[in-house]
């Protein structure tokens, strides 16, 4: 992945991450704030309900007290004190009293709590009032209970009062319904619903689970309830048990709509998404702009480095800033300048060394023939003092000697001349195997006659492709290598020549020439291709230099692998089709 892409990705991820984090944080904080407000509202309504229940209880108790204090009730009490009281005439009395006292429920009871008259269920006369458990003493104040009616039971606030007449007593039990109308009187704020759940009747399916939990725990339970299929129609519901003496009478559910909260959360989410997308786009654009500014010099440096690596040491990168990148560019430029200077110096030193070597070699090569020449000329000078016959003989021998030595000098000069006049290769498709076989044939007789003997091993890869080469120059290079190998094995040994198909260089051939001579040191290996460098006593140091020159002209490469005392292997790789820009493959 490119540096710029990576930077862009980091920018985008950072931006979207920050936006997501902010959106999430805002959502969570908003939800918490809403939850807190909703909880407060629900708690306030529950407290209000409790207070209203207490107030209503006092009112119910007062009204029942008034009914109990009426003359009509006293008359019933007096009748009750008779031996065989007839209560049938009071059948409608409870209804009249309930209407007058504005009570929803009123039972006039005998002291054994059988009903004399019932306002809300007149037909229940002579049946037992069951607002209280059997044997339970009526509390002094009002209390919650379930009042049975024709088709179920109502939750009600009721109070009992006893009216005595002599030894007899009757009871007045009255109450007010605690229902939706009662809840409406609480004046809940918009969006808050108070629902009274009758646990004896089928419970609203939306509240069923919550009510079940309250029935189990006998504590206030909270839940979020979907109110309809509409996605935003959800309510947070607090369900409070309404009970007496451990018996659950009903459940008060206070529900606050979450529509606003959910709408706001959705809005925040949308804003977050829009901000996120915008942020990502902005981040990408900014990142692109920033990375462009940051990576351009880096990429230029990279291009420069690649150019330097490919040999273009003249590469110069722009120094656009004063920051670290600018400093890097300046350092790079300094480095290339120093490299160039060092190369120049190295070249200069190489040239000097080469010239010195050349001078040394020339001196060495020329000194050998010069000494016989000098001796011969001095012999001739001295021979003038001898007899003409002796002089002629000396003269003849000396001239032969001079001509021989001059011939040697000419040969030396010819080799130097040849090296200087290496022609440009005339390329054609050449079968490397054929070329190798041809060279080996040339040396066949010489190798056979070599004493001690040299064995040969020819290993030719038939799949080796044709290479683009000048067959004369390639043959010359191979001859030099074979000759070199034979020279390296004066004590005999094995000469191996192998060809292989190449995967590198866009396809091509590899030629290896190995000997089992004394081998080379690492220093010798590094200097072996330097012109006029030789490890042989009578070599000119130009053979391998010529080989390297040929391989280089063919856009191939050559190197030597050697282990001291175990021989050496010279390896040539030649491309099938010469491509001067062949990347990563410098000439030898």
Question: Residues interacting with other proteins, by CB under 8 A?
Answer: 87-89, 91-92, 121-127, 150-151
Q: Which is nearer to other proteins, 11 or 131 (CB)?
A: 131
Least spacing, CB of residue 122 vs other proteins, in Å? 6
Nearer to other proteins, 42 or 124 (CB): 124
Longest dimension (CA), the chain: 202
Q: Measured from the CB atom, is 117 or 376 closer to other proteins?
A: 117
Q: How far is the CB of 116 from other proteins (least distance, A)?
A: 10
| CB of 126 or CB of 320, closer to other proteins | 126
The DSSP call for residue 122 is G
Q: How far apart are CA 285 and CA 292, in angstroms?
A: 10
**Distance in Å, CB of 205 to other proteins, minimum:** 23
Residue 108, Cβ density class (10 Å: 0-12 exposed, 13-18 middle, ≥19 buried)? buried
DSSP per-residue string spanning 528-584 = TTSTT--SSSS--S-HHHHHHHHHHHTT-EEEEEE-TTS-EEEEEEEESS--TT-TT
Q: Are 540 and 516 in contact (CB under 8 A)?
A: no
CA-CA-CA-CA dihedral for 328, 334, 337, 339, to nearest 10: -80
Q: Is 118 or 473 the residue whose CB approaches other proteins more closely? A: 118
Min dist CB 80 to other proteins, Å, is: 16
Please state the closest distance from residue 45 (CB atom) to other proteins, in A.
Answer: 36
Sign of the C-alpha dihedral computed for residues 131, 133, 135 and 139 taken in this order = negative
CB of 162 to other proteins, least distance (A): 23
Which one-letter DSSP state was computed for residue 130? -
Closest Cα partner for 251 from 198, 206, 213, 209?
198
Least distance from other proteins to the Cβ atom of residue 88, Å: 4
Cβ-based neighbours of 472, under 8 Å, separated by 6 or more: 426
Comparison of 127 and 227: residue with beta carbon closer to other proteins: 127
Nearest residue (CB) to other proteins, 88 versus 526: 88
> Given the complex with other proteins, which of 17 and 122 has the nearer CB atom?
122
Give the count of beta carbons closer than 10 Å to the beta carbon of residue 524.
15
> Do 561 and 574 meet the contact criterion of CB atoms below 8 Å apart?
no
CA-closest candidate to residue 129, choices 140, 145, 141, 151: 145
In whole angstroms, how close is the CB of 54 to other proteins at the nearest point? 34
């Amino acid at each position: 992945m490119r540096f710029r892409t990576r930077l862009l990705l980091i920018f985008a991820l950072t931006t979207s991450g920050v936006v997501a984090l902010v959106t999430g944080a805002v959502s969570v904080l908003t939800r918490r704030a809403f939850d807190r407000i909703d909880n407060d509202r629900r708690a306030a309504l529950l407290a209000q309900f409790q207070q209203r229940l207490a107030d209503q209880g006092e009112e119910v108790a007062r009204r029942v007290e008034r009914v109990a204090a009426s003359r009509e009730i006293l008359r019933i009490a007096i009748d009750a004190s008779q031996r065989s009281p007839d209560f049938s005439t009071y059948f409608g009395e409870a209804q009249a009293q309930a209407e007058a006292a504005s009570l929803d429920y009123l039972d006039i009871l005998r002291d054994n709590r059988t009903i004399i008259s019932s306002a809300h269920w007149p037909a229940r006369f002579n049946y037992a009032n069951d607002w209280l458990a059997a044997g339970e003493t009526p509390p002094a104040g009002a209390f919650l209970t379930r009042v049975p009616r024709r088709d179920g039971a109502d939750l009600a606030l009721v109070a009992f009062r006893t009216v005595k007449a002599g030894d007899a007593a009757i009871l007045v039990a009255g109450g007010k319904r605690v229902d939706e109308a009662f809840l409406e009187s609480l004046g809940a704020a918009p969006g808050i619903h108070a629902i009274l759940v009758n646990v004896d009747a089928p419970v609203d399916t939306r509240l069923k689970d919550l009510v079940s939990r309250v029935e189990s725990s006998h504590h206030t339970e909270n839940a979020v309830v979907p109110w309809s299929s509409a996605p935003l129609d959800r309510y947070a519901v607090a369900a409070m048990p309404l009970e007496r003496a451990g018996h659950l009478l009903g459940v008060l559910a206070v529900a606050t709509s979450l529509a606003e909260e959910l709408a706001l959360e959705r809005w925040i989410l949308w804003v977050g998404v829009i901000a996120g997308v915008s942020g990502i786009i902005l981040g990408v654009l900014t990142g692109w702009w920033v990375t462009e500014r940051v990576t351009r010099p880096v990429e230029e440096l990279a291009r420069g480095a690649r150019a330097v690596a490919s040999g273009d040491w003249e590469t110069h990168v722009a120094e656009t800033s004063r920051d670290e990148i600018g400093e890097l560019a300046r350092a790079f430029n300094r480095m290339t300048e120093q490299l160039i200077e060092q190369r120049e110096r190295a070249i200069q030193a190489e040239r000097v060394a080469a010239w010195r070597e050349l001078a040394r070699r020339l001196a060495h090569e020329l000194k050998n023939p010069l000494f016989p020449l000098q001796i011969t000329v001095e012999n001739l000078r001295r021979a003038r003092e001898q007899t003409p016959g002796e002089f002629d003989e000396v003269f003849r021998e000396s001239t032969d000697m001079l001509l021989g030595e001059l011939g040697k000098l000419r040969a030396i000069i010819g080799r130097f001349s040849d090296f200087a006049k290496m022609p440009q290769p005339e390329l054609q498709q050449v079968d490397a195997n054929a070329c190798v076989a041809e060279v080996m044939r040339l040396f066949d007789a010489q190798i056979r006659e070599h004493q001690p003997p040299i064995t040969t091993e020819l290993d030719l890869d038939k799949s080796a492709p044709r290479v683009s080469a000048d067959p004369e120059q390639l043959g010359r290079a191979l001859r030099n290598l074979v000759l070199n190998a034979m020279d390296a094995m004066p004590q005999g040994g094995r000469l191996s020549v192998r060809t292989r198909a190449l995967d590198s260089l866009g396809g091509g051939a590899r030629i290896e020439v190995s000997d089992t001579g004394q081998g080379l040191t690492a220093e010798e290996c590094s200097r072996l291709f330097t012109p006029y460098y030789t490890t042989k006593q009578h070599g000119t140091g130009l053979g391998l230099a010529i080989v390297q020159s040929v391989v280089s002209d063919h856009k191939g490469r050559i190197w030597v692998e050697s282990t001291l005392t175990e021989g050496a292997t010279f390896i040539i790789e030649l491309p099938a089709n010469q491509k001067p820009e062949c990347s990563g493959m410098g000439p030898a």
